[in-house]
Amino acid sequence: MAVMAGCLGLFGLVLWADSEVGWAIGTAASYVFLEIAYWAWERRRLVEARVVVGETGDRARLRLRHAGGRTTEHDPHQVVRVLVIHDNVSDSAKLRLRLRRKRPFFGRPGRPSVLTAWRKTCPGAHVNDRKAYWGMPGVPD
């Protein structure tokens, strides 16, 4: 991102001497803004959400692997809401997860998770599933 913004900025400086290059600088600034917005959105995306039992037989923990490569562990009692959205066309599902005092996390499409495991591990959470609101174009629902 920084390299691309630097190249666009250098391009704008080269053109500055000969003509008006406000559009080039505006393009570089908008590109940087869009990359920062995408990075902030991607931080909340999950690649994997797994319930793991501690090595010493402790309580189960919720391990979340984020799209950026970061892995975090949370107490299952912090989970407020779990929503699994089943795709109407393929055998996949998306996960929507909300922890107490945190922004919601969005899972990438993958295999549908078992709701009974979520209900057992996170007793205080509102666990639900639903079908997606959209269907395949041209096919009546």
Q: Is the pLDDT of residue 58 over 80?
A: no
Which residues make beta-bridge pairs with 46?
66, 107
pLDDT, tens digit (0-9, with 9 covering 90-100), for 82-111: 888 888 777 778 888 888 887 777 776 777
- Convert 59-127 into a string of H (helix), E (strand) and C (coil): CEEEEEEECCCCEEEECHHHEEEEEEEECCCCCCEEEEEEECCCCCEEECCECCCCHHHHHHHCCCCEE
Q: Are residues 52 and 34 in the same domain?
A: no
Cα–Cα distance for residue pair 103/54, rounded to 1 Å: 26
In Å, how far are 28, 46, 82, 87 from 65, measured between CA atoms? 32, 6, 16, 22
For the chain, percent of residues with pLDDT exceeding 70: 76
Q: Are residues 11 and 63 in the same domain?
A: no
Tell me the pTM: 0.61
* 132: its two tokens: 């997606």
pLDDT, tens digit (0-9, with 9 covering 90-100), for 34-46: 888 888 777 777 7
Asked whether residue 136 is domain-assigned, the answer is: no
Q: Are residues 70 and 50 in the same domain?
A: yes
Query: Which tops the pLDDT comparison, 136 or 45?
Result: 45
Domains of the chain: total: 2
| pLDDT interval class at 128 (50, 70, 90) | confident
Q: Are residues 77 and 100 in the same domain?
A: yes
Give the domain range for residue 73. 44-131
Q: Are residues 10 and 55 in the same domain?
A: no
Q: Is the pLDDT of residue 48 over 70?
A: yes
